[in-house]
């Protein structure tokens, strides 16, 4: 897949009738819904029926199951995601007719025109930080619009069209589309090599962030004072005339965290800024979530929200789906599900989970995501997974990629076994995962399923099997 290059945007009202290909996707459906709410004629297709299509239809969107060139109708603009291949008959027909074809990021960027955009990006923590930013701004009375990568646990929604000026978006760096958003405030959580299938090298990946902080539309850059990759951006942003706000535990951070503590299922720290200081209390665990909250706080201050109201609002954040999401407490075992799909994310999640285990064991079930990422980081995944007491590794979830000879989930399992001998169990298929876990899990254990694919199905199935007594322990 080629990197997405920024284009000149038009207001949503000037796009005419808009057709979305793969409209049922988590990243596409919120945009289509907002277009419909704004009175734009909207249609869309998806390869399979789903409740999402019904929800869109209730908003007036013409929905189609399957892809056919005739479904374009009188569309003037076609919006696609990175997952849509050039062979899609609707995309091919749109190009044949010379219609305006935009990437999803441009469709979302058009919604931000005339608003005070806040774009959250970085290698890790984008979804949680963007969701936190939306919650903090709402708690401070800003009523922001937002589109984030996963539904908020409290509302079940990943989007909201607010009455306020602020518009918060999760900005995906994987395909370069984070450069498309007309954001006034850019938040960069951290930078670590990833998505090399698109960017080629770690250096080129980092250069995308440097390009972002130098963009003309950016006024404020919020970035980590703790992360080496983001610290490298600070002089670049200042040289480009941007206001820089740093966050973290570093002594020179503008928004500084100190006295971190981790009460049951939560996290707490003192937060100190130039004109505000006080406790930051979260209902979600992990030091990484305190850093995410500090970033969200800094973004809120850049928009002009009072610090004390932002800190108070942080306590109301209860997480997003698939970010250390509770699945069940069955037969004495607690089950969580997490989207972690990079070694650093896996290590952070398991470290946070370790603090909640108590006298039991930590059991990890990991599904590698992408052949290229597995090839590039197998050893690092193995080291991260070794933080668990028992490890189940699945076959690779390929997503958009074709297989690479010699690359399988066994690379990760073998790497983990080299660090944690006797504690690693490999199963190739998803259907084998829950039975394998049943044979491992004991009362008092904490189980975490990890990965960006369909491993999220494993936790509920494990809970079901444990509930009917299907366990030897």
Tokens 């004390």: give the residue: 308
Whether the pLDDT of residue 115 is over 70: the answer is yes
Interatomic CA distance for residues 295 and 186, integer angstroms: 10
pLDDT, one tens digit per residue, over 436-449 is 999 999 999 999 99
DSSP, collapsed to helix, strand or coil, labels residue 399 as coil
Per-residue confidence (pLDDT) for residue 152, from 0 to 100: 84
Interatomic CA distance for residues 391 and 93, integer angstroms: 48
Cβ count within 10 A of residue 83: 15
With beta carbons less than 8 A apart as the criterion, state whether 37 and 55 touch: no
Mean pLDDT of the chain: 92
Q: List the catalytic residues.
A: 126-127, 170
Mean pLDDT within 395-403: 89
- Order of strands across the sheet that contains 18-21: 62-65, 42-46, 18-21, 77-80, 100-103
With beta carbons less than 8 A apart as the criterion, state whether 390 and 446 touch: no
Whether the pLDDT of residue 30 is over 80: the answer is yes
Give strand pairing partners of 383.
none
pLDDT, one tens digit per residue, over 171-193 is 988 888 889 999 999 999 988 86
Per-residue confidence (pLDDT) for residue 1, from 0 to 100: 53
With beta carbons less than 8 A apart as the criterion, state whether 150 and 157 touch: no
pLDDT, one tens digit per residue, over 198-225 is 777 888 888 889 999 999 999 999 999 9
Ranges 104-108, 148-152, 325-329, 345-349: which has the least confidence: 148-152
Phi and psi, residue 431, nearest 5°: -65, -20
pLDDT bracket for residue 471 (50, 70, 90): low
Contacts 24+ apart (CB under 8 A), 155-163: 158/26, 158/30, 158/320, 159/30, 159/33, 159/34, 160/134, 161/34, 161/37, 161/38, 162/138
Ranges 136-140, 147-151, 216-220: which has the least confidence: 147-151
Mean pLDDT within 251-276: 93
Per-residue confidence (pLDDT) for residue 473, from 0 to 100: 44
Cβ count within 10 A of residue 392: 28
Domains of the chain, earliest start first: 12-102 (3.40.50.720), 114-314 (3.40.1190.10), 325-467 (3.90.190.20)
With beta carbons less than 8 A apart as the criterion, state whether 463 and 457 touch: no
Per-residue confidence (pLDDT) for residue 278, from 0 to 100: 96
Whether the pLDDT of residue 68 is over 90: the answer is yes
Q: What is the dihedral of CA 455, 28, 24, 96, to 10 degrees?
A: -120
Share above pLDDT 90 across residues of the chain, in percent, rounded to a whole number: 76
Interatomic CA distance for residues 16 and 162, integer angstroms: 23
pLDDT bracket for residue 81 (50, 70, 90): confident
Whether the pLDDT of residue 309 is over 80: the answer is yes
What are the tokens at 277?
């200081």
pLDDT bracket for residue 430 (50, 70, 90): very high
Per-residue confidence (pLDDT) for residue 320, from 0 to 100: 76
pLDDT bracket for residue 28 (50, 70, 90): very high
């Amino acid at each position: 897949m080629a990197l997405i290059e920024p284009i000149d945007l038009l207001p949503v009202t000037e796009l005419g009738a808009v057709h979305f290909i793969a409209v049922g996707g988590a990243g596409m459906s919120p945009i289509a819904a907002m277009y419909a709410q704004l009175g734009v004629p909207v249609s869309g297709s998806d390869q399979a029926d789903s409740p999402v299509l019904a929800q869109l239809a209730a908003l007036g969107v013409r929905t189609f199951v399957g892809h056919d060139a005739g479904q374009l109708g009188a569309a003037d603009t076609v919006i696609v995601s990175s997952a849509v291949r050039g062979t899609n008959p609707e995309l091919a027909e749109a190009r044949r007719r010379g219609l305006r074809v935009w990437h999803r990021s441009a469709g979302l960027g058009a919604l931000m025109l005339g608003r005070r955009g806040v774009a959250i990006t970085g290698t890790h923590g984008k979804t949680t930080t963007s969701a936190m930013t939306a919650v903090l701004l709402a708690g401070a009375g800003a009523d922001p619009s937002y589109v984030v990568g996963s539904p908020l646990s409290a509302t079940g929604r990943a989007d909201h069209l607010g009455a306020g000026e602020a518009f918060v978006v999760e900005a995906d760096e994987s395909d370069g589309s984070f450069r498309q958003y007309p954001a006034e405030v850019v938040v960069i959580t951290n930078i670590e090599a990833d998505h090399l299938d698109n960017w080629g090298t770690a250096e080129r990946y980092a250069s995308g962030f440097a390009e972002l902080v130098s963009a003309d539309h950016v006024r404020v850059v919020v970035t980590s004072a703790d992360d080496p990759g983001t610290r490298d951006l600070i002089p670049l942003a200042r040289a480009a005339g941007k206001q820089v706000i740093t966050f973290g535990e570093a002594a020179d951070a503008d928004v500084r965290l100190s006295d971190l503590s981790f009460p049951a299922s939560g996290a707490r720290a003192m937060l100190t800024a130039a004109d505000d200081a006080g406790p930051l209390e979260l209902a979600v665990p992990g030091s990484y979530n305190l850093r995410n909250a500090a970033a969200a706080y800094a973004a809120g201050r850049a928009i002009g929200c009072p610090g004390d109201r932002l800190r108070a609002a942080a306590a109301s954040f209860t997480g997003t789906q698939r970010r250390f999401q509770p699945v069940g407490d069955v037969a004495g075992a607690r089950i969580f599900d997490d989207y972690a799909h990079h070694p650093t994310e896996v290590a952070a999640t398991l470290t946070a989970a370790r603090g909640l285990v108590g006298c039991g064991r930590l059991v990890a079930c990991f599904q590698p995501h992408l052949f290229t990422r597995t090839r590039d980081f197998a050893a690092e995944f193995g080291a991260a997974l070794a933080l668990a007491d028992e490890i189940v590794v699945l076959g690779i979830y390929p997503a958009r990629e074709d297989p690479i000879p010699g690359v399988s989930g066994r690379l990760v399992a073998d790497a983990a076994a080299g660090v944690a001998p006797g504690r690693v169990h490999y199963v190739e298929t998803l259907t084998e995962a829950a039975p394998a876990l049943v044979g491992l899990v004991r009362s008092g254990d904490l189980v975490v399923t990890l990965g960006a694919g369909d491993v999220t199905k494993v936790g509920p199935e494990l809970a079901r099997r444990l509930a009917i007594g299907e366990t030897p322990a």
